[in-house]
Amino acid sequence: MINIHRRQARITPVPNPPASTPKTSVELFAGGGGLAMAVDRAGFQPLLLNEFVKHACDTLEANGAEPRGENERVPEHGKGLLVRGDVTTVDMRYLHNRVDLLAGGPPCQPFSLGGIAKGDEDKRNMFPEMFRAIREIQPKAVICENVRGLLRPSFRPYFEYILRELEFPFVERDDSVPWTEHNATLQGRQKISSGDATERYQVYKFEVNAADYGVPQIRNRVIILAFRSDLKIDESILFEKVKKTHSEAALYQSIANGRYWQNHPGVPEHVRERVIAELPAQSSLDFDELKLLPWRTLRDAISPHEGPLPRLPKIRWNRLDRVQYPDMPMDHVGWPDARIYTGHTPNVLDRPAKTVKAGVHGVPGGESVLLTDDLAPGFRGARRRYRHRYMTVREVARVMTFPDNWILSGPRSEKMRQLGNAVPPLLGEVFARAVFEVLEDVENRA
């Protein structure tokens, strides 16, 4: 079983799932384990994990995934089996009718706008492998996570086609047929209510910002859920379970009324003054949003005032030297040469972090640069300027809501890549638990 250490992993406490019939899962494109962790926390027993990248596979094994080997087998209770390698070579038919949930975030970044417009697609698009997995194992439910960029007007027609393919995964497309032609076929199927309900899925699309669910990071994503139509799920349960819990307005209010600073009593007065001065006018706040919990900030992540995670020690300015010191937590390593310039602005402590991307440092926008509370030498009064540095891997893992005892394998570049490509476990758990409870309701009505 993937060793997620549930209590330490949670940032916002979530009740344990109710006792029930064991539910199983398969995950493709597992990466560094964020969604796998979320699905496991939600109560699903992992049967199979697949990943192609070596260092991500090493991470999964370091945290308890067991190599499956060449022989097809169903794991013992509590064991998750890892298949390394190209997903196109993985035969999953031996798991037919044994899987409740298929999960994954198929790579989609290589889509070519020009190619799609012509009816051709990049061969690295892995959504077809998700549809093949559905045909082979016929799961009760599916979770897919992907970038919000798929909703851009230029991509939207193709994205809507993907949703139709998920609705009718058993209407298989021949390689010689352009996607536009197959899309027309699927649109025709949508007008027909008859057919095998076990081969059709009800599809739901959610545009989310991870910060709205307690993740200390601005991370806009699309989450797709699908349920086999024969289950006749109760949609009201699903929508109730995935409601946002945190808001930007509530954060602003807590900063203005002082509650936020009570949780962070050591923040210098000049920092508090600067942050308060930059708040928007209170009259512009949405009062319904004020009823929610405050967005969690980068400061909340690395210097939490509650919960199981300890405050991370400060990185000393003379330790920006790539060295893992024995008195520092694992991967809490200072890195030199951080820069701030136009178009490369840093993270600030009293907001959620910027979107973590799959790069080491210096990626556009300064996503892994941090503006600290420390004043730069020679800058005081109205000329205040603050010192900055690169965020450590451990700090980035915190804003992704990975637990401190989750082992990341590989050099710094690969650890950052795994984190940037991952689903924040806290966000994934919200949607995995919603699926779990919808399936529970189906069982209870049977």
Q: Map out the domains of the chain as residue ranges.
A: 6-243+423-445
Provide the CATH topology of domain 6-243+423-445. Rossmann fold (3.40.50)
pLDDT of 156 above 60:
yes
pTM of the model: 0.91
How much is the mean pLDDT over the chain? 89
The answer to whether the beta carbons of residues 45 and 22 sit under 8 Å apart is yes
pLDDT of 185 above 90:
yes
Active site residue 108: yes
For residue 225, the cross-strand partners are: 143, 204
Residues 6+ apart with CB under 8 A from 76: none
Phi and psi (nearest 5°) for 365?
Answer: 100, -5
Nearest to 227 by CA among 132, 143, 140, 168: 140
Separation of alpha carbons 432 and 446, rounded Å: 21
Q: What is the structure's pLDDT at 362? A: 45
pLDDT of 383 above 80:
no
107 CB-side CA count, 13 A: 20
Separation of alpha carbons 294 and 290, rounded Å: 8
Confidence of residue 13 (pLDDT cuts 50, 70, 90): very low
pLDDT of 351 above 60:
yes
Confidence of residue 384 (pLDDT cuts 50, 70, 90): confident
pLDDT of 118 above 70:
no
Nearest to 155 by CA among 171, 176, 182, 179: 179
Residue of 80 and 123 predicted with greater confidence:
80
The answer to whether the beta carbons of residues 371 and 395 sit under 8 Å apart is no
Confidence of residue 49 (pLDDT cuts 50, 70, 90): very high
Residue of 131 and 153 predicted with greater confidence:
131
Sign of CA dihedral 80, 82, 88, 92: negative
Nearest to 406 by CA among 58, 81, 145, 104: 58
| pLDDT (tens digit per residue) in 173-184 | 998 999 999 999
**Alpha-carbon dihedral angle through residues 127, 133, 136, 141, given to the nearest 10 degrees:** -100
Mean of pLDDT values over 14-38: 82
Q: What is the structure's pLDDT at 39? A: 97
SS3 for the chain is CCCCCHHHHCCCCCCCCCCCCCEEEEEECCCCCHHHHHHHHCCEEEEEEEECCHHHHHHHHHCCCEECCCCCCCCCCCCCEEEECCHHHCCCHHHCCCCCEEEECCCCCCCCHHHHHCCCCCCCCCHHHHHHHHHHHCCCEEEEEEEHHHHCCCCHHHHHHHHHHHHCCCCCCCCCCCHHHHHHHHHHHHCCCCCCHHHCEEEEEEEEEHHHHCCCECCEEEEEEEEEHHHCCCHHHHHHHCCCCEEHHHHHHHHHHCHHHHCCCCCCHHHHHHHHHCCCCHHHCCCCHHHCEECCCHHHHHCCCCCCCCCCCCCCHHHCCCCCCCCCCCCCCCCCCCCCECCECCEECCCCECCCCCCCCCCCCCCCEEEEEEECCCCCHHHCCEEEEECCHHHHHHHCCCCCCCCCCCCHHHHHHHHHHCCCHHHHHHHHHHHHHHHHHHHHHC
Separation of alpha carbons 25 and 2, rounded Å: 13
**What does the block give as tokens for 338?**
């951080």
Mean of pLDDT values over 321-347: 94
Catalytic residue among 108, 222, 422, 439: 108
Q: What is the structure's pLDDT at 68? A: 93
Place of tokens 């190619």: 115
